[in-house]
Every structure is written in structure tokens, then in C-alpha cells.
Structure 1
Amino acid sequence: MNNKKYKTLKQGIQSIMITVLCFISCSEQEYLHPDPTTYIPQEQTFDTPERVLALVNGLYRGMKDQQFYGGRYYIYCEVRGEEYINRTANLFTAFDSWNHTLNAGSNEVQNLWAAAYRTINLCNVFLQGLVDNADKVDPEAATAYAAEAKFVRAVSYFALVTLYARPYIENNGNAPGLPLRLLAETSSANNSLARSTVAEVYAQILKDLDEAETGLPLSYGTPLLNTTRAHRNTAIAFKTRVYLTMGNYSMVIQEAQKIVSANAPYRAETGVAHALQDDATIPFLSNNYTTTESIFSMPMTDLDSTTGQSSIGYNLNTSPGNSEYNLNPLGIIADTEWRENDQRRLFITGGATKYLKKYSKPSPFLDYIPVIRYAEVLLNYAEAAAHVEDLDKARDLLTYVRNRADASYQFPTSAINNVDALIQTILHERRIEFLGEGLRSNDLLRTLQTIPAKGTAPAVSPTEEAYIFPLPNSELLTNKDL
């Protein structure tokens, strides 16, 4: 780890050690000479429940970095696909990702990598702190907090491995993956670390998610916390995404069945009662970001919103944003089977030139950013069921998602009457349902599809170097084992 990265890491660690404490005392000495309230020495960070909770919140804050789940990660994953046309050729708003002209020195490549590994190391430092302070932290709370750290670490590694490494299904995960950093690092001494294989990275992701599932609470006391902190069903839901990306369809089904009832109306019967909203626009356009459909989201507030060029709203919308990208008129919005009375058409705005308005708030862009919704669990389950030739279940789940938004719609028989057609229809439905939610790049790569051309940007086949992000120069220059 180079000095610049170490300084950034140190600042990140210190930032989650800072909290405001209130001291009430009638002692004149304490009143005149109070303990510092805005800085806590590292050796005291686990001394009180409030301080430990502040550290946990800092892990989520790391995820919410503007270079990561707070903004740019979604932008890169969206514009790499075929649904957007770049309007400005602005290098600061992901033009190189859209145009597939990234190199090891590109800001996108380096900044995302740094933000993700910074978050991972925050988790590692926190987990080590729990071990070192086992006598100070309530055991039940420590178990739950460790589970949250493992969830955040797993989600962070998943983002990295699906952009910077070859798809799992290409050769069963035998390609080079990522440096798998699992130790708390506070210096640059251990920066050199060889890449683990893709399969080894996925194994660690699943290990963390399995342990998170076991240690996380079933639910919290409020819808806000149930949406913005990981609970048991959060870990299960994310495992359906991981297993689907690996092509392990039987495990997708096994995990999904934990939180999807056997019959419609589909819902989670244990833990948080996840279910689709009757109106498809509610999770985005109603100012209610904490319904049971939103399994896990990045909450944005005035204190930590992602403004300007790092905001997904700034990039993809027109009225509150900068019109960096309009929707591709030849993309999914041109699908005539996506009917005009479908509620999801309300996410599209504009005249001749169309824009996405899922993130419609003006600056400072306080829309919550969804990490995973219940609709994805249902479509993950549907796709896996189709692969194992349970066509009735796959059709039921697919239709349930479509009819939530367009109650009278019936899929053409030719679109759902055999395995191959049904899988393609489910993938097509994902383009509609998750437009603007950062899933398109992974859906293309995990199925080894060519990234389609759009506008002046060329198509990219799975055999081309541009299919994945290159490793960043910052890592290549400082990690001697790569």
C-alpha cells in the first residue's frame, strides 16, 4: 500500500472513530475540564456501545463513497451497457466507460478500486477490533456487528470481481481474480499480495454472506433501519445475485425459497416481510424509500449526498441533472411489448429525447440508491428456475413482476414456451425492471454476451480486453506480487 493510499486509509479509519458524546455532570471539575468530545483515541474506540455503533455506521459510510455505491459505481455499470447515449464526451462523467476506452490510468478504474478496497479494509480493521476488544463489547452485539462488517465486505468484493475479473462461468472461476485482502492493514508493509482466482474470491464472498446470514438480526425496529442496515434477509437476497452470477442455479433457488413464499402473492414469510409494492413507482417516485420492497439501499442525506458529476441523478436525468446521458432510442425503451400503460414507463421523461427519472430529486440529489430490491430476488429465482427447467415456476415469477406494473399484460406464447425463449424473456424483463439500477453490466458479462454498440461506442465481445476493467496503475506500481 503506497503512502497516498495509506494516508487515505488512515483518514478513513479516523473518520469512523469520530462521534459526538454528551456528558452530563454536576461536578465542577468535570464541567470546567471536560473530556474531549469530538476525538476519541484509537485505543478507546470500543469502550462504549455508542462508539462501537459509530464504527459500524462508518462501514456503511465507506460503501456510500461517491466513487462507490454512492454514485459512480452505478454510473459505470449502467453506461457500459446499451441503454444510454453519451451527450458530452466528458471524461469526468464516465465517457471512457461508455466508450470502452478505459486504461490502467483512467480515473474510473483507479478511483473505484481505491474506494472499494478502502471499504474492505475498514471492515477488516473493525473485525480485528472486535477480536481485540472482546471483553468490552456485548457478545450478542459483537456477533451482529461482525455480521454487518462481513456483509459490507462481501458486497464490496462482488462489485470488484464482476468488473475487474473475467466472468465466473467462462471457465468455472479459474481466471485470475483479485488480491483477497482479509487482514486489518494500517501500514503499507503488506501491500504486495498476489491475485486469488475468481473462484476463490467468490468462495470468500459466499463465506462472508453465509456468516452474515447467521449473525444478523431478523429485523430492526424501523423501516429505515430495515432498508439501510443489513439484516438476515439482506444477506440471503444478495446470495441469490451472487449464485446467479456464478451460474449455480440450484443454489439461487435454495436461497430464494428462504424469502419467497411458495405461491403468489410472493413475499418473505420470516424476518422483514419483503414484498413488491402494488405500484411499481413507489420505491422511486413516492419519497418512500423504505418500503418492504427495498431490501437494502444507500440513504442520501444533506451530510453525505453525492452531488455534481458523481451523482447518478446528475448524469442520467435532465431536469435536476446535467443531461450527460439520454436514453438510447434503440434500446429497451423501443420495446413495443413494454406497453405505454406499464407503470414503469413513468420513469421515462422528455420529448423526442428521453431521459431516466428514477432519481428525480434536484441537487443535492437525495434519492436513495437501491442496492437490491425484492423484484430482483423474484427475477433471480425465475431465471434460475428456467435454467433447471421448472418452467411453470419461472413463468409465474416473471408474470408476477410484469403484472405488478401492467396488470393485463400476457407474454406471447413464443416468448415463454421453452427454456431458451423463457430465459431470454426474463433477461429482457430485467432490462425494463432494473433500468438505472446498476445491474446491466453484470447481466451482460455473467451471461458472456457481447456488450452491444450504441451511438458512436463500439460493441465489445467477450474476447476483447475492454470487456472488463483493467487493474489500476496505482495497484500495479505498488503491489509487487501482481
Structure 2
Amino acid sequence: MKNKSFIKNKLKLALFAPAICFSLMLTSCEKETVELDPFDRLTEASAFTTPERVELAVAGVYDAAQSGFYAGGAVRGYPFGAAHVEQGDMRGEDMLNLEAFYAITYGSTYNAASANNVYQFETLYSVINKANIVIEGVEKAVKDGLITAEVGNAYLGEVRMLRALSNHELLVHFARPYNHTPDASHPGVPIRTIPVNTPARVEEASQQGRNTVKEGYTAILADLDYAEQNLPETRAAGAKISRATKGAAIALKSRVKLHMQDWAGVIAEGDKLISGDEEFTSPIGGYALTASPNGMWGSAASSNTESIFSFMNTSNDNASVNGSLGQMYNANTGGRALVAISPIIWNATFWPAEDIRRENTVKTARAIFTNKYRDAQTQTDWSPIVRYAEVLLNVAEAESRLGNSDRALDLLNAVRGRATDEVYSGLSGDALTQAIVNERRIEFLGEGIRWKDIHRLAKEGKFGPAGIPAKVPSSSNHIPQYEAGTGKAVDTSAIPFIPYEDFRFIWPIPVSEISSNPVLAAQQNPGY
């Protein structure tokens, strides 16, 4: 089936029984039960009756990941069409909230009913539930001879990768990091592997509590291992980026093992995608850094060598004027420009003033904005998940942690050197690790990765803030605060640092969940 049919014309996998919802969400249930047999949807009963419909059911899981429902059935890019970027950036300090839109996340004033964290939780579990429904349906389709085992296993690889991605996103927002306890035995999130699609399963789900963080990571790696074994190395045209591949599963494993501080594991996974000594390329998928650090944005998002996995947005399927990356981050014509680059990172001395990544920005009378997301008019900017630069920097950090400074420097400078002549030499130990973490802040600015790094590093407290960082408050004119690479300090007293031990470091389980699950109600994150 053509990629256009698979992605652009995705049919939603409708859960049509009124009581059937993964996280028992009334609002989401209402949205999905308005029509029992709408023309553009597949009901669960009909989704696995032909090979074509099986593939469309798989596409429905991508759809749930790219455009899950917000309040009142609105679409704002939850969880991965845009919101993971916006929420990940607003929890950090390197992007600047300018209006009330993200004030709750930015100021850490969320609670168990605040919208951004609630809908991230609910839509992530919607992805997981739809993945579980498709897994059960595909397994039956293979058993019935409707599709071959090879085709079925590839479909299972896709949805298991999406399930793993969703579970990890949940863990970095709703649970303490892997190293919070020596054996990661502290509370994680519920790991669901059975679809909630019958009254009996609804009842079972309403009694399930939290798994440990270790159990969560074990489940994530099992899904990604399966995906690696069964997904193709590449796909045609834009599908090589917008649809799961072997390389995407491996890249995500390198990220997951970085969060686990499994340095040898990071290197083992990353090395599957790295060949060469100074100019690195991947033997799987043909990934390579683009010549320019700005070479994977705009119209190039679907056809560059660096993007490993992204979610496609189109003019008729996007996060809307109230959520799209082009609207929120873009200061050009039509953009709402609600999120700018913070003077904190702009002024950092580790970011050279002549670094050409600074050119991919837009300066207004109020602030400086990233130009990674350029289409405010039709909102077609793809939502990045993982790039080749991240794989290189993941391995660089792991090599540095293990004392392998020469290779760590080579990998670090491969990323940095395409943007500035001020590459590093002679670094080792903690200084080298710090340089790598700093480079991540520059390279992935505006891509939602900053919170993931804060989350995994905060307990250690050596290479970044040991908690939620202090932030620059919104004002009518930030321009005087920007001085590229000078180290100029800015006032963050209005939004001060919050230590790691504070309850606000992680988000609460939503009231919509704990009100229907007494087990989870007793396991709410402390302080909420």
C-alpha cells in the first residue's frame, strides 16, 4: 500500500463500546463513540478482516501518536505531533515561554487536573491501548492466514516501537529517573500489554497499579528489541523517516540505555549505526549528518539523511493553530510566536557567537526564535523524535563516561564541527562529559529533548541542574538580555530553581485516572 494511503489518509481505529477506554477517560470515550460506523474509521470488529484494513489499523496507532484528542475533542499535537516538543522544552530553561499558553508547565504550577500534563498522560496511554489492540488483531490475522507471519511481525514491530516510545515518555514525566534508587525499584507507571476493549478488561485495568521503573525499562527494551529484529532497514521516500524502521528502534535503544546509565549498552546499540572514524555514517539505513546543521528542517524534513524518525504533519492533519510547532515557535508571518529561545542558552559561553546554528533563528522586537519550524500557514512541519546527531552524542557521552576520550571527542566534534571551527581538543573526564551535555543543549534546542536530559542527570547533579532549572520570566522586551556567547547573566529570580527532591520534579497522575482506579489513587506521586 502506498505511503500516502498509510500516513496521509490514516483511518482511525475506533473503540466503539462506550465503556472501553484505556485510561478510563470519559472525554476521550465520548469522542470515539459519537458514531458507531463512520465512513472514515475502522471499528475494531472490521479492522482485521482484510490485509488492507490490517495495515490501516496499524496506521491508526500512528494517528493516535501524532494527533490524540485534547479537551473537547480538539487536536493540539498530543502526544507526539507537537506536544512532546513543547512540553519537553517548557520544563527546561533553554526555551522561553512568552504568554500564558505554557505558563503552568514553565512555572511548574501543575496539579492533577492541569491540562497539559493530564492530556499528555491520557493520549500516551491511548497510543499504548491502540497498539495493544492492533497487536492482538495482527496476531489473529496471522493465525487465520490473512497475512503472512513476515508481514505480521513487521506490523508488530511498528506498533511495539510506538508503544515503547510512549512508555518512555511517560516515565520521564511521571516517574523519578532510573538511577533514583540503586536497583530502579521505585514507582514507575502502569505497563499495559493487554488491550482494554471489553468490560472485563476495563475492570482489570481499573485495579492495576504502577510497575517499578526497572520493569518499565525492561518492557521498553523488549519492545524495541522486537522492533529491531522485525522492521525493515529502510523504506521508500518520506516513509523512511515517518514510519518505524530498524534504525529507529536501535536509535531509541541508545537513548533508553543512556537514561539507564548503561554506558556499554549505549555503545553497543549506537555502534550498529556508526561506521567511520571522523565522518560517520550508518550501515543500517544510510544515516549521516547533513552537511549543514540546519539541513533537516522545512521542506527537507521528509528527505534528509539525518532524521531517523519523525511524525509527519500535513495541511489537513496537524496540531492546529493552537498546538502546531509552526504556530508556537515561529515568528514569521502567521506564527503566534509563543515560545522563544531563552537568553540563558543564547548567552552561554560554550555556544560560540559565530556558530552557524545561530543563523537558523528569527529576531523580532521582543525576542529571538528558532526557525526549525517554518510553516505557520499550513502547519506541515514534521515533529522530530530522533536524529543521527543524537545517536552520535549518546555514544560520545557513554564513551566519555567509560574513559574513552579520543573516540568521545571524535563523535562530539563531528556534530559540533559542522557548525563552528571552535571544536574541542584535549578534554577528558568530567570536563568532556560536560562539553557533550552542553552540545546537546545547542544541537537539540527547540526539539523537546532538554527535559529528558535534565531528568536523567538531575539525581547525579554534576552535569546540569540538580532539579528543575531557574528560568527567565516573560516580559514585553527580552532583546536587551541577548548577548551571544558572552556569558551575560539574566534575572531568573521570578522563576527560581526547584531542587530534585521537590515533589514538582515529576508530574502527578491525573485525577481522571485515580478517580477510577483506587490502586493508583493510593500510589499518587507524593505532594499531590
TM-score (norm 2): 0.82
Q: Hey, what does 1:213 align to over in structure 2?
A: 228
> Is 1:47 aligned to residue 49 of structure 2?
yes
> Is 1:113 aligned to residue 133 of structure 2?
no
2 CA distance for matches of 1:169 and 1:175? 10
Give the total of aligned pairs. 454
1 CA distance for matches of 2:442 and 2:106? 19
Q: Hey, what does 2:277 align to over in structure 1?
A: 263
Moved more, 180-189 or 119-128: 180-189
* Residue among 457, 471, 491 paired with 1:454: 471
2 CA distance for matches of 1:39 and 1:80? 35
Q: Hey, what does 1:34 align to over in structure 2?
A: none
2 CA distance for matches of 1:73 and 1:285? 19
Q: Give the AA of the match of 2:123.
A: A
Q: Hey, what does 1:475 align to over in structure 2?
A: 513
**1:1-23 superposed Cα distances (whole Å, 9 cap, x missing partner):** 787626735865999997xxxxx
> Is 1:124 aligned to residue 132 of structure 2?
yes
Q: Give the AA of the match of 1:228.
A: S
Q: Hey, what does 1:184 align to over in structure 2?
A: 195
Moved more, 233-242 or 211-220: 211-220
Moved more, 256-265 or 208-217: 256-265
**1:164-221 superposed Cα distances (whole Å, 9 cap, x missing partner):** 000111214221011111101114322221100011001000000001111111222x
SS at match of 2:54: helix
CA contact (8 A) 1:147 1:215 kept: yes
SS at match of 1:404: coil
2 CA distance for matches of 1:475 and 1:259? 40
2 CA distance for matches of 1:42 and 1:355? 44
TM-score (norm 1): 0.89
2 CA distance for matches of 1:309 and 1:467? 26
> Is 1:8 aligned to residue 46 of structure 2?
no
Q: Hey, what does 1:273 align to over in structure 2?
A: 286
* RMSD value, Cα: 2.2
> Is 1:430 aligned to residue 440 of structure 2?
yes
> Is 1:99 aligned to residue 107 of structure 2?
yes
Query: 1:481–1:426: structure 2 CA closer, same or farther, 3 Å change rule?
Result: same
* Residue among 415, 436, 441 paired with 2:451: 441
Q: Give the AA of the match of 1:324.
A: L
Query: 1:378–1:192: structure 2 CA closer, same or farther, 3 Å change rule?
Result: same
CA contact (8 A) 1:119 1:156 kept: yes
2 CA distance for matches of 1:54 and 1:249? 38
> Is 1:465 aligned to residue 503 of structure 2?
yes
Deviating 4+ runs (over 6 angstroms)? 1-4, 13-18
SS at match of 2:112: coil
**1:215-241 superposed Cα distances (whole Å, 9 cap, x missing partner):** 111222x13111011111110000000
2 CA distance for matches of 1:152 and 1:196? 19
Q: Give the AA of the match of 2:515.
A: L
**1:314-368 superposed Cα distances (whole Å, 9 cap, x missing partner):** 2222224222232222x11112442343221122221562112211111332111
Moved more, 259-268 or 153-162: 259-268
SS at match of 1:176: coil
Q: Hey, what does 2:97 align to over in structure 1?
A: 86
Counterparts of 1:344-423 in structure 2, within 5 Å, are 344-351=357-364, 353-406=367-420, 408-411=421-424, 413=425, 417-423=427-433
Q: Give the AA of the match of 1:161.
A: L
Moved more, 301-310 or 53-62: 301-310
CA contact (8 A) 1:348 1:356 kept: yes
Q: Give the AA of the match of 2:112.
A: A
Identity in percent: 32
Query: 1:423–1:85: structure 2 CA closer, same or farther, 3 Å change rule?
Result: same
CA contact (8 A) 1:13 1:122 kept: no
Q: CA deviation at 1:297?
A: 0.5
Query: 1:388–1:131: structure 2 CA closer, same or farther, 3 Å change rule?
Result: same
Moved more, 379-388 or 42-51: 42-51
1 CA distance for matches of 2:40 and 2:363? 48
* Residue among 59, 62, 68 paired with 2:79: 68
Query: 1:130–1:9: structure 2 CA closer, same or farther, 3 Å change rule?
Result: farther
Question: For structure 2, which runs of at least 5 residues remain unmatched after alignment?
Answer: 1-18, 68-76, 459-465, 473-493, 521-528
> Counting helix residues as a fraction of each chain, which structure ranks higher?
1
